[in-house]
A and B are shown apart, each in its own frame.
Chain A
């Protein structure tokens, strides 16, 4: 907490007070204005938001379908397929960065938002969580829906998805904060402002262009973490509760 308070102090005061803690120091928003102008933050914000939304949508859709298949269908090789999914829990795409970079180069996606997102679209964690939840839903509900003439997809959408809502919320929170903050993989596959997310933009900004103007750097740091921080403060209670209900414990 202390580091954050210190950052807030520095960001809201003129540069000459960055290293001197005096209560009488004048407040200013100038650092934020200068930080905002010093790097294309608007573009970075747009990229990150789009990226996070894209990844979350793909993850939820793909994981829902896969989890349903694992929970309710018996097919040959099911256990093997599930084991293959679990491998990704341990070996995340960012460990395999050299190969994944080659793949992206082969399909010509380097320096684009899809290149950052694609390796994460199929989330083993989401599939695992949803499968557990779906399996705990009574089979009778499924049968009843089928008797009413609902197709598999309709049953999934009308019965399973609504009942798993807390799990979806919990996963969404984890996923959003993970990808908002993700750094190494985006750093590797992007090389221009057009595709760079906030984290990469922030790093390049604070290391190369600026020397050490702490007021601006802390202002930029706060700018890029503010949306998540605010969202988190607003939803703190729901955050903990959805974790409890989702049974991630």
Chain B
């Protein structure tokens, strides 16, 4: 029963991990020249590669901003739409839509926003009498612009999990808190938030994986530019592997990316999991 699933997992997850590691110690085969053992050469190239470091720094910044911002935004939105209020269904729908739209489609729409001269942002800033700015074309704002799109996309997704968790909390908790005279803030901080901890861990793990996996919008918005200002690790990996066909170097980058993810998994497993109080 287990066999089919395990065979596929071995073929498309474990075997590639191992052979990536092996490949990263060999050179890229070119024409008639077969690949030869080069030891740590690919890694030496990586250490000396300014674009790699740029992608790494960008990615850390991207993850560092996207993860906390999208999670806190998701929590606030979930708490908000969990209340009884007018237009709740509409609001929920508005928050959900970014989630179901393909990232590529979303990027198309945002591209429209960011376009110089006649994009929506431009029109607004022109109406306010502000100078024109090429959001995606200038190195100082390109990364911020693609990060904003990611936060917008992620927050709606995480909100679903928070909303589901909030709705499954016992309503009598709220009544009890009301009788005790607890303020809304105390109720959230002392009752709701601890109970949401398992959700937060789940969301955090997802946010982390996505922080290093989400690149779709780069293809439409900036293609990593200008001057690599918005390149992320996976996008750089794609370029090295499929635009430059340097598979050995790509393998070395993959090893780094996989190490980051596995390292994070272990950290989550051993550290975070112990601090969570399950219901």
Contact = CB atoms under 8 A, between A and B. Distances in A.
Binding site secondary structure of chain A: helix
B20 A249 contact: no
B183 interface: no
A97 B16 CA distance: 9
Contacts, number: 220
B235 to A, nearest CB: 9
A119 B12 contact: yes
A70 interface: yes
A217 B106 CA distance: 11
Given A100-B16, A232-B96, A207 B220 contact: yes
Given A3-B113, A90-B261, A229-B100, A96 B13 contact: yes
A22 to B, nearest CB: 13
A88 interface: yes
A118 B7 CA distance: 11
Interface residues on A, range: 35 or more
Contacts of A57: none
Interface residues on B, range: 35 or more
A118 B102 contact: no
Contacts of A62: 4-5, 8
Contacts of A244: 164-165, 167-168
Given A218-B108, A221-B105, A177 B99 contact: yes
**Most chain B Cβ neighbours within 10 Å, of A68, A122, A212:** A122
B245 to A, nearest CB: 10
Contacts of B102: 180-181, 183, 198-199, 202, 224-225, 228
B220 to A, nearest CB: 6
A93 B13 contact: yes
B113 A96 contact: no
B189 interface: no
A161 to B, nearest CB: 14
B37 interface: no
A249 B105 contact: no
A4 B164 contact: no
B209 A90 contact: yes
Contacts of A202: 102, 104-105, 108
Nearest to B20: A99
A98 B215 contact: no
Interface of A: 1, 3-4, 6-7, 10, 19, 62-63, 65-66, 68-70, 73, 81, 84-85, 87-103, 118-119, 121-122, 124, 127, 177, 180-181, 183-184, 187-188, 198-199, 202-203, 206-207, 212, 214, 217-218, 221-222, 224-225, 228-229, 232-233, 236, 239-240, 243-244, 248-249
Q: Which 3 A-B pairs have the closest CB atoms?
A: A99-B16, A122-B8, A181-B102
Interface of B: 1-2, 4-17, 19-20, 23, 89, 92-97, 99-106, 108-110, 112-113, 115, 118, 120, 123, 152, 160-161, 163-165, 167-168, 198-199, 202, 205, 209, 212-213, 215-216, 219-220, 234, 237-238, 241-242, 247, 250-251, 254, 257-258, 261-262, 264-265
